[in-house]
Structure 1
Amino acid sequence: MRAIGANPWIWSSPVSDAALAVIVPRLAAWGFDAVELPVEQVGDWDPARTSDLLAAHGIIAAGVCAVTPPGRDLVCTDAATVASTQAYLRACVDAAAAVGASCVGGPVYAAVGRTWRMTPAERRACYADFRSGVAPVADYAGERGVSIGVEALNRYETSVVNTMEQTVELLEGLPSNVGIMLDTYHMNIEEKDPYAAVAVAGPHIKHVQVSGTDRGAPGSDHLDWPRLLAELSRTGYAGALCIESFTAENETIAAAASIWRPLAPSQDQLALDGLAFLRGLLAGL
């Protein structure tokens, strides 16, 4: 059966060695198969130590999440910012390779919250910037057996790519190890038909994040989850489904993700409800 994972951001930010030492054993005890590992700052968690921790508890690393605060940009910026962002992404690739994760995913094109209007010509230039900036990182990742998953965000968080159609356009001409990290939360906001959008993304999908339409547990919302997962299965994607939500206890991440109210009775309950729902749904497919 398809692996189900969780992101430690449900409970903690930043994700550190100390946080993982608590969270990973709990995920294993609850029946999760996988974890995705955010890298807010290089060195927040040690890849070798994390690899040993995951192995000890029978948990796989489904992916490494690249995080793009202000100053991490590959598009419409200066050469020094591009170079520092490339260095950060290479470090994410190294971490992924060390823990056995096949994908580094995230909004790797620009900082979250950076939005600006673009004419069609300016958008073409922006996309060309991205291809130029990500190409050496893609080569570096390919040499290490790692893919780059580009995540489309909603309109309030970026103006670069909001839909699967835009993301496919962004990827034109890039090597095959650069693809899409699908996020159901953003798709619910931006796609006229999220189920058709899965098919558009299909050949390019490298990793999948799932959450309810309010960032809560999958299944406690209005998405037609059986239809969505059936469409996903038709694409041939066989990787993990990772529940992504956020703790409201960290002011910075709560503000960045607009978590203004509790999304479940507890963060544990959010994860457990999502796991139970996805397990039951996958068993019936």
Structure 2
Amino acid sequence: MWDIGVNTWVWTSPLTDDALAELAPRVRDWGFDVIELPVEHPGDWDPHRAAGLLAELGLAATVCLVMPPGRELVDADTVAETQDYLRHVVDVAAIVGSPVAAGPAYSSVGRTWRIDDRPEVYARLRENLAPVVEHAAAKGVRIAVEPLNRYETSLLNTVEQALEALAGLPDEGCGLALDTYHVNIEESSPVRAIRAAGERIAHVQVCANDRGTPGNDHQDWPALLQALADAGYRGPLCIESFTPDNATIATAASIWRPLAASPDALAVEGLAFLRGASSAFTR
């Protein structure tokens, strides 16, 4: 039912033109439908060059955004430059044909603080995200806002919180990105949370509960996939895991040990599992 994708973070960070030229043909030859492209810093890779390469290979693209320290939508002194970055990611998504720009588009990953007035902070987030959402809608792209686990943020951890925070922002420019890793940690019922997200689900990232190979874990994949089908989600399932070779990203994602025999094995075995698990569902 679903196209299957894989994020280049499985192998490398930051993505470059040369790395994409080497990875994309392998991803296509393994049988993936989609390759997910992170935009860590504007200019790391050329979206026009990437669009041409993926068109030649017959691969679709999704794009994800990155929120390191200094990118904040809830602090007045960094809002404008963060909005500029997010608009850039939207433009990149439009160039490569991605329907989404997905990620935690609210505060830097790893930043946690006690939030005494959550409605006020959510109102500020909506106000500051709204111009980006308007830009995205005009480009035919949705900002897919991703709740993260409690160790990576204190702002949006659950689907319920994300729906509250985004209430009033238009569906055509804004939705949710659900990551099975975070959902497994934060939701008392992942299935119920997926169903609650419903038509606001704009993107789905998948991995094992330990960030490893999908299917090599304790997650109830038949139930998760059934909930996605019931919610009407028809976008791709994109494997997201991380290379331990980049110290910054490995530390941010707490990758302290190998998560599979190799990055290639994680991708290929995850693809085989997801193809089989989703075969019972029809479009």
The TM tier, using the shorter chain, reads over 0.9
Identity of aligned residues (%): 57
Q: Structure 1, residues 142-193: CA drift from partner, whole Å, max 9, x if none?
A: 1110101000000000000100000110111111121100100000000001
Amino acid at match of 1:66: L
Cα distance in 2 between the residues matched to 1:13 and 1:65: 13
Equivalent residue for 1:197, pick from 183, 193, 211: 193
Amino acid at match of 2:90: V
Cα distance in 1 between the residues matched to 2:188 and 2:19: 38
Task: Give the structure 1 partner of residue 73 of structure 2.
Answer: 74
Amino acid at match of 1:78: A
* C-alpha deviation, 1:106, in angstroms: 0.4
Cα distance in 1 between the residues matched to 2:3 and 2:168: 31
Give 3-state SS (helix, strand or coil) of 1:55's partner.
Answer: helix
Q: Indicate yes or no: 2:47 matched with 1:47.
A: yes
* C-alpha deviation, 1:78, in angstroms: 2.2
Q: Structure 1, residues 188-230: CA drift from partner, whole Å, max 9, x if none?
A: 0000010111001112000100000000011000001011001
Q: Structure 1, residues 24-49: CA drift from partner, whole Å, max 9, x if none?
A: 00000000000111000011111100
Task: Give the structure 1 partner of residue 29 of structure 2.
Answer: 29
Cα distance in 1 between the residues matched to 2:135 and 2:280: 40
Amino acid at match of 2:197: A
5+ residue gaps, structure 2: none
Q: Indicate yes or no: 2:137 matched with 1:138.
A: no
Query: If the length of structure 2 is used for normalisation, what is the TM-score?
Result: 0.98
Cα distance in 2 between the residues matched to 1:13 and 1:144: 27
Please list every run of at least 4 consecutive aligned residues from structure 1 whose deviation after the TM superposition is greater than 4 angstroms.
none
Q: Indicate yes or no: 2:118 matched with 1:115.
A: no
Task: Give the structure 1 partner of residue 153 of structure 2.
Answer: 158
Give 3-state SS (helix, strand or coil) of 2:279's partner.
Answer: helix
Cα distance in 2 between the residues matched to 1:97 and 1:195: 31
Equivalent residue for 2:274, pick from 254, 264, 278: 278
Task: Give the structure 1 partner of residue 179 of structure 2.
Answer: 183
Q: Indicate yes or no: 2:237 matched with 1:241.
A: yes
Amino acid at match of 1:226: P
Q: Indicate yes or no: 2:227 matched with 1:228.
A: no
Q: Structure 1, residues 67-126: CA drift from partner, whole Å, max 9, x if none?
A: 000010001x124x100000000000100000010100100000001100112xx21111
